[in-house]
Homo-oligomer: A and B are copies of this chain.
Amino acid sequence: MKTVRLGLLGCGTVGGGVVRLIRENAANLASRVGAPLEIARVLVRDPSKERVPELSRDKLTTDPSAVLDDPSIDVVIEVLGGVEPARGYVERAIDARRSVVTANKMLLALHGPELVERAVRAGVDLAFEASVGGGIPVIRTLREALTSDHVTRLCGIVNGTSNYILTRMRQDGLSFEAALAEAQAKGYAEADPALDVDGGDAAHKLVVLAMLAFGARVPHDAVYTEGIRDVEPIDHEFAARFGYTVKHLAIGQKHDGHVELRVHPALLPQQATLANVGGVLNAILLEGRALGPCLLSGRGAGDLPTAVSVVADVVDVAGARLNGAAGLMTRSVRFEDTRLAPIDDAQCAYYLRFQVFDRPGVLANIAGALAEENVSILEMVQRGGGDSRGEPVQVVMMTHIAREGDLRRALTSIADGDDVAKPTRLLRVAPIA
């Protein structure tokens, strides 16, 4: 019987997990694929290192060509991470007509469309379930379950680090700094947390999701991106008072040939399912025209959940290859001419926290400036003031749905006056119930 020969690029913790799962479930996998899977060759940095699970020394190589130029390899699995040299390896594998499975979100976010098109030209598959949402089968759902549907919106908690920090701030009143330090101590956040807490990682994932959901071809740095550094404990308190929970969301919507992509902290109604996805968990809500809402949640990272997704992809592409159907999965990605809507065109309800001097007329000035730009106020609370310590008064407003450009003009005009003691905090309300 033919075997499907796998070449593994990288054998760190995810790669090790892939090896382990493929070995432990060999019979199941062979039955599903139609032939046994064989880990034929593994690119490593140090072949002398002890590995669990053990790999026989003759499979290990430090030479990428030993994997990429071996004509007997059917499927290349890339779990190196980072853009280079992963990108070059993946391109070489595709050009040599091998199907590729990758867990590399950065690579997909930066070069997804061109790699997909390269794979289509070569008639092979490029599978990347593990690149977004770890063990959550969101790519599979977008690609397969929705073959006959149109996604109109997606909304996700896609960065576990940020979700952990916001959860700790909300539940236990920690400051951002304290929650971040805790996340670092627990290994949930990197020493340099910028990519996570400033939203870049979420923007990468949103670009990958939008490629599948909307056929959008969007540079990752064109996504409107805000992180969570400016969310203060007091914002969690006020949000709760209005019945909301603050989460860091990646939001994609398609309307009238425009795609709107934005990553920022947002208010979700407390009883919304997404609002109750806590800790390091991830969750993605898809809304399909026919399907309605579909929420997928689980571990967004972690070696084994990620390895489960990699192996599921291996099964798909190996099976397709064996049956002469390679490339079909990847050909189903349809790029469309999409214009990215500027953030000024976004329409949301807003949470606005003004920090103003305690004196007569301030509220009238703010309300007047908002009204001037057609931003209408739904609810308001005020805290502080009336003492002599000179602390600013916190005036928090929830608005009706407004156009962001209008709101920003109003805020500029308010900031230009002399009522405001500290910068105004703006949080958007998520477009879901």
Contact = CB atoms under 8 A, between A and B. Distances in A.
A21 B290 CA distance: 9
Which of A278, A283, A291, A295 neighbours the largest number of chain B CB atoms within 10 Å of its CB?
A291
B147 A328 contact: no
Interface stretch (A248-256, A310-318, A408-416): A310-318
Given A21-B148, A25-B148, A144-B316, A328 B32 contact: yes
A148 B29 contact: yes
A135 B325 contact: no
Nearest to A21: B148
A328 B34 contact: yes
A148 B22 contact: yes
A272 B281 CA distance: 12
Interface in A4-43: 17, 21-22, 24-25, 28-29, 31-34
Which of A17, A290, A332 neighbours the largest number of chain B CB atoms within 10 Å of its CB?
A290
A295 B294 contact: no
A308 B290 contact: yes
Contact of A292 (B22, B29, B298): B298
Give the interface size class of chain A. Answer: 35 or more
Interface in A285-316: 288, 290-299, 302, 304-305, 307-309, 311-312, 315-316
Given A34-B328, A148-B311, A311-B147, A295 B298 contact: yes
Contacts of A275: 276
B292 A295 contact: no
Interface string A342-384: 0000000000000000000000000000000000000000000
Nearest to A279: B433
A275 B141 CA distance: 23
A258 interface: no
Contact of A273 (B34, B297, B319): B297
Interface string A249-280: 00000000000000000000001110111100
A323 interface: yes
A232 interface: no
A278 B274 CA distance: 12
A149 interface: yes
A281 B304 CA distance: 30
A141 B290 CA distance: 20
Nearest to A327: B34
A145 interface: yes
Given A276-B271, A276-B272, A325-B323, A145 B294 contact: no
Nearest to A311: B148
A43 B332 CA distance: 31
A136 interface: yes
Contacts of A17: 290
Nearest to A285: B297
B304 A28 contact: no
Nearest to A26: B148
Contacts of A292: 135, 298-299, 302, 304-305
A137 interface: yes
Interface of A: 17, 21-22, 24-25, 28-29, 31-34, 129, 135-137, 140-141, 144-149, 271-273, 275-278, 281, 283, 288, 290-299, 302, 304-305, 307-309, 311-312, 315-316, 319-320, 322-325, 328-329, 331-332, 334
The 6 closest A-B CB pairs, nearest first, are: A323-B323, A294-B298, A148-B311, A290-B304, A295-B297, A21-B148
19 contacts: A17-B290, A21-B148, A24-B148, A25-B148, A28-B334, A129-B145, A144-B315, A145-B309, A146-B312, A148-B308, A273-B277, A273-B297, A275-B276, A288-B308, A292-B298, A293-B299, A294-B299, A323-B324, A324-B324
Given A137-B294, A291-B308, 10 more contacts: A17-B290, A140-B145, A144-B316, A145-B308, A148-B308, A290-B307, A291-B305, A323-B323, A323-B324, A323-B325
